[in-house]
Chain A
Amino acid sequence: MFLGISMGSTTSGIKVVFQSLLKAKESNPMLDTIIWQIRFPRVLLAALVGAALSLGGLVFQALLRNPLAEPYILGISGGSAIGAIIGILMGFSRFPGVSLMAFGGSIAILLLILVMSSGQTILKKDALLLSGVMVNAFCAAVIMFLVSMTQDSRLHNIIFWLMGDLSMVDMGHAGILAAILCPCFILIFWFSNSMNLLLMGKEMAQTLGVNIKAVTVILLVTTSFMVSATVSYCGLVGFVGLVVPHLLRLVFGPDHRVLVPACVLGGGAYLVFCDVLARVLPKQGEMPAGVITAMIGAPLFIFLLKKTRR
């Protein structure tokens, strides 16, 4: 069933959502409004976020030549979240203010990780992952600190948002996010052949005519930008960038010219699917989609870590 969703486009994912919706609330006269005012923007958001995060994971895996790299695991998402929370606490509006703060946070963490891992060869996978885990732990502590300092009505919102919540959007927000992300998708697709060559090592890529520095900087900044944009809209949705590229690589092989579009479609479908689970599984209310993605993703990460250590 999952393959069916990811192989198709996001629209087939939307159909699944509609079907599950129709079963739950049939013969409701408000149905149309609910679908178009609440559900559709939400599905659109899930698809965009899923696509951006999968693509983010794919790019990080290529640039760091590490199949376990992912913005969430490396703490990039955590950095954006810190920036975003500070933005929220300072009372900025969601679009320019909070997003820019999140972008600043993610760039700061990105630089930190690059500095920490540049001493050793990047091929040392465990060193990179360890530094990422520590950065992540640190970010989590800062987030907790910020949350514990907050004592008004914003608290519940922040916590729910942090766990990866897709429910707080309307069509306008989803539209803005789409306008931000789509150019990023295209830009990354532009560099997909360079990413293939980078997987063969920096020296090989360079002698095949790739401008390594330019490509690396553009891709890392674009990816951090995408990730921080998604974080500022729906918090920490983890492990999407790990699960989706891995599954797609099993199906399509490692060629990025195929994987980039596949990640946009498959990642979108995957998060829509997780969001459906998050809405359908609890008897009352709903849970954030980030809970589902982490429940699926973390065990897979452990499995992959064991496999690559072989």
Chain B
Amino acid sequence: MAIHVKNLNYYYGDFPALKNVTFSVATGNFFIIIGPNGSGKTTLLKVMAGILKSQTDQLEILNRSVDHYSRKALARTIAFVPQMIPVDFPFSVTEIVLMGRSPYLGILGLEQEKDLEIAKQALTFTGVEHLAHRKLDQLSGGEQQRVFVAKAICQEPEIILLDEPTASLDLAHQVRLMDLMEKLKNERGITVVMVSHDVNLAAMYGDQLLLLNKGEIIRLGNPKEVLTFQTLEEVYGCTLLVDESPLGNSPRVTPVPRKYMT
């Protein structure tokens, strides 16, 4: 198991964001967490990343309790790609990607030749090597997102966690990013855990989907098991049409506008 979460409860003050959540992510899976706004997806991801901590949970990473990891050891195992990244300071793409090496560096944090080599490979892998010397704030949203994926790869993790990476991207960049994660999974055996709003992308790429609502697990399984018409209408509270994708072998979800409902 890459990740095992047992009896997780998480509160913001008195408000329960996650209630008694238990599940596992198999190693080498493309695991996508879906659910309506405020269902606790991002909270769950942040608990898995070690950013949020609750008293009741038992979190196991690679079959070892998370408490047995030092900060740096955890950073060498799990990489996290947040949704919003502030770009107020003019770092170059190379500098950002090299930050992924910091859990491997000595006390003064100086990079060696080897670290530069790994950074270069990560940039090539994500297809942004031509941007290496540009400043981050000069890049488009899709390019920035791939730079941060390259940074995550530079951490040489076993697991990558991403928080709605496709949210602000155009169609081409969405597919490129999802393809990239799939390539990462297939070629390097990295477990990918992603929070996504896009049910259809999740259906096409996910090995396992986890459907959350109001802090509880509604369904866990492959896309066909999770994305059923009944479950989705109940969770999202709107009229939906679920049929087979024209590409075959995965469900397609279409929300139905009111004007078609007569």
What residues make up the interface of A, taking CB atoms closer than 8 Å to B? Answer: 65-67, 123, 190, 192-194, 196-197, 199-201, 203-204, 206-211, 249, 253-255, 257, 308
Contacts and interface: CB of A to CB of B under 8 A. Distances in A.
B75 A201 contact: no
B24 interface: no
Residues of B in contact with A, size category: 20 to 34
Interface in B73-100: 74-76, 78-80, 82, 84-86, 88-92, 95-96, 99-100
B80 A67 contact: no
B49 A208 contact: no
A206 B88 contact: no
Given A200-B96, A203-B49, A204-B82, A254 B102 contact: no
Contacts of A67: 88-89
B50 interface: yes
Contact of B51 (A190, A193, A196, A203): A203
A196 B99 contact: yes
Given A207-B75, A208-B102, A257-B109, A199 B49 contact: no
A273 B4 CA distance: 61
B166 interface: no
Nearest to A256: B109
Contacts of A207: 49-51, 74-75, 78-80
Give the most central of A123, A204, A206: most B CB within 10 Å.
Answer: A204
Contacts of B75: 207-209
B92 to A, nearest CB: 7
A209 B102 contact: yes
B80 A203 contact: yes
Nearest to A66: B88
Contacts of B102: 193, 196-197, 208-210
Given A203-B46, A254-B90, A254-B91, A192 B109 contact: yes
A66 B84 CA distance: 16
Nearest to B75: A209
A227 to B, nearest CB: 22
A67 B137 CA distance: 15
A257 B95 CA distance: 12
B107 interface: yes
21 contacts: A65-B88, A65-B89, A192-B109, A193-B109, A197-B99, A197-B102, A199-B86, A200-B99, A201-B84, A201-B86, A203-B46, A203-B49, A204-B85, A208-B99, A209-B75, A209-B76, A249-B89, A253-B95, A254-B89, A254-B91, A255-B95
